[in-house]
Amino acid sequence: MRLLKQLGTVFVVALVGSQAAAAVDGSWLLTLLVGTVTAALALVAYTWVVRRTEHREPAELGRAGAGSATARGLLLGVLMFGSVIACIALTGGYRVDGGGSVTVAVGLLGFTAAAAVTEELLFRGVLFRVVEERAGTWGALLLTSVLFGAVHLANPHATVWGAVAIAVEAGAMLGAAYVATRTLWLPIGLHFGWNFAAAGIFGTEVSGNDTPQGLLEGVTSGPVLLSGGAFGPEGSVFAVLAGAALAVVFLRLAHRRGRIVPARRRADRSLATTSV
């Protein structure tokens, strides 16, 4: 019941926000405004429902260090996607056909912020936390990664390979970022930086979702495995390798910090053995 209440509360905000964004499509200022408001309301809604259902303050959204963690994630996300684009360009799969639109890029700030915040609250804030309580970190990481990839199959240019790629490079990476820090601010920043770099800076497709182009008119071509095809650079092997490598780094950090949670059955068995 707690899971459903938390998911339902954040999902309603996300749904209303997406409908509002669709209604103002074409206006960069309103898109920026609607996206920013949606992100803010989602954070408020998550805080409220966690207080009501768990009777605690959500430490995963603590204010201390929130700005710096988000900024680090944002920078890392932009640099990571930039490195993926560089690899694709070196293989001849990406080129710039000209300048794009500054106003569209500004509007994308709101659009990508809303997507990053709502998706992280749903998948890492709610699903990952609740599943981890019973299945442990590894079980939660596996389940939420698979689900995160699967939901992207609903996108217009989705492919099975694209969903698998998202599960690894985004689902696992963002889940690992949460485990290493036990804060949602870093994965939110990572998610935001990655998506904005894809559409707002390099002008490429985001998860096969017909996203508008921002500062550059980017064109991808060549083998799908290298360029990502119609799904966008996230469907390239370079993105998968980059996301997987970063996930390993975060998980090693989490292990050193003692933040890997064992499955409940294993923990109970260990406790019983100790008691005897």
In a domain, 192, yes or no: yes
The boundaries of the domain holding residue 209 are 66-266
In a domain, 23, yes or no: no
DSSP letter string, 3-53: HHHHHHHHHHHHHHHHHHHHHTTT-HHHHHHHHHHHHHHHHHHHHHHHHHH
Closest CA to 207 of 220, 189, 195: 195
Residue 75 has phi, psi (to 5 degrees) of -65, -45
How many whole angstroms separate alpha carbon 244 and alpha carbon 29? Answer: 36
Instruction: Give, as one character, the DSSP assignment of residue 231.
Output: G
Residues 6+ apart with CB under 8 A from 258: none
In a domain, 36, yes or no: no
Would you state the structure tokens that stand for residue 257, as one six-digit string? Answer: 């910090």
Neighbours of 155 (CB within 10 A): 20
In a domain, 41, yes or no: no
User: What is the total residue count of the chain?
Assistant: 276
Report how many domains make up the chain: 1
In a domain, 94, yes or no: yes
Indicate the pTM of the whole model.
0.93
Rounded (10°) angle between helices 2-23 and 129-151: 40
In a domain, 98, yes or no: yes
In a domain, 17, yes or no: no
In a domain, 19, yes or no: no
Per-residue pLDDT of the chain (276 residues; tens, 9 = 90+): 899 999 999 999 999 999 999 999 889 999 999 999 999 999 999 999 999 999 999 999 999 999 999 999 999 999 999 999 999 999 999 999 999 999 999 999 999 999 999 999 999 999 999 999 999 999 999 999 999 999 999 998 889 999 999 999 999 999 999 999 999 999 999 999 999 999 999 999 999 887 888 999 999 999 999 999 999 999 999 999 999 999 999 999 999 999 999 998 654 544 333 333
How many whole angstroms separate alpha carbon 209 and alpha carbon 53? Answer: 34
